[in-house]
Amino acid sequence: MTDNTGFAVAIDGPVGVGKSSAAKRLAGDLGMLYIDTGAMYRAVALYNMRRGTDKKDAEAVAASLSDIEIAFTPANGILLNGEDVSADIRSQAIADYTSMIAAYEPVRAKLTQQQRRLAENGHVIMDGRDIASQVLPWAQVKIYLDADPRIRAERRLRELQAKGQPAEYARVWEETLIRDERDKNRVHAPLVRTDDAIYIDTSHMDLDEMVAEITRYVKGRLYV
């Protein structure tokens, strides 16, 4: 696992904290590969939701894994068995389904293995919940982003509205709390802040400020 020549930035944090927007920008600025691990969990959820699998049926979800192949397009799109599902994975229904199935150990084992492979020899920025703790414990830079849950719910709401999806604050607030609870309290690879991660509270930061702050840490490790 540690036998690699890569440089990795691990970005973890709860829902709506701005991880993906910051990681994507940073990867573009620094010429690194961006890997959105949440999209991979969402793709597994989409496959199962389309087939009508009960999200509480851990065995059925585990059995589906051998039929699922996930890949990324060069533009950070996600392919589920060759089909570009980048837009389909972004609904609230998928978010809810995903937070259930992401708790299942076989799902995590499959995706963690693929994520480690993707990071082996390149320069990557990977975001998720368990990147520093489980997927890439060797990452040279580990960032934990956090923000007030109310602000995170507001950001999620704006994000959904910008995509033209029906959303109201009360619902998004409730979903944020439920997903936080599931992400932090599941048995396998819960969201944790590791001791060696840099903690950044983004409650009062815009995207530019967030990117500038993380860039300082990454450049510190790249050029020393």
* Binding stretches for ligand DC (CB under 6 A): 15, 37-38, 41-42, 95, 98-99, 102, 128-130, 179, 183
96 vs 213 by CB, closer to ligand DC: 96
Minimum separation from the CB atom of position 192 to ligand DC (A):
11
Minimum separation from the CB atom of position 224 to ligand DC (A):
28
Please choose, from the candidates 171, 192, 208, the residue with its C-alpha nearest in 3D space to the C-alpha of residue 95: 171
Residues 6 or more apart in contact with residue 221 via CB below 8 angstroms:
7, 140, 141
Minimum separation from the CB atom of position 11 to ligand DC (A):
10
10 vs 218 by CB, closer to ligand DC: 10
Given a contact cutoff of 8 angstroms between Cβ atoms, the answer to whether 112 and 134 are in contact is yes
187 vs 224 by CB, closer to ligand DC: 187
Q: Which residue has the tokens 């051998």?
A: 66
Cα Rg of the chain, angstroms: 17
Given a contact cutoff of 8 angstroms between Cβ atoms, the answer to whether 210 and 18 are in contact is yes
Burial class (CB within 10 angstroms; exposed 0-12, middle 13-18, buried 19+) of 180:
middle
89 vs 218 by CB, closer to ligand DC: 89
Minimum separation from the CB atom of position 41 to ligand DC (A):
4
Q: How far apart are CA 14 and CA 184, in angstroms?
A: 9
Minimum separation from the CB atom of position 126 to ligand DC (A):
8
168 vs 181 by CB, closer to ligand DC: 181
128 vs 145 by CB, closer to ligand DC: 128
Q: How far apart are CA 199 and CA 202, in angstroms?
A: 10
Q: Which helix (H) or strand (E) holds 125?
A: strand 123-128
Minimum separation from the CB atom of position 63 to ligand DC (A):
20
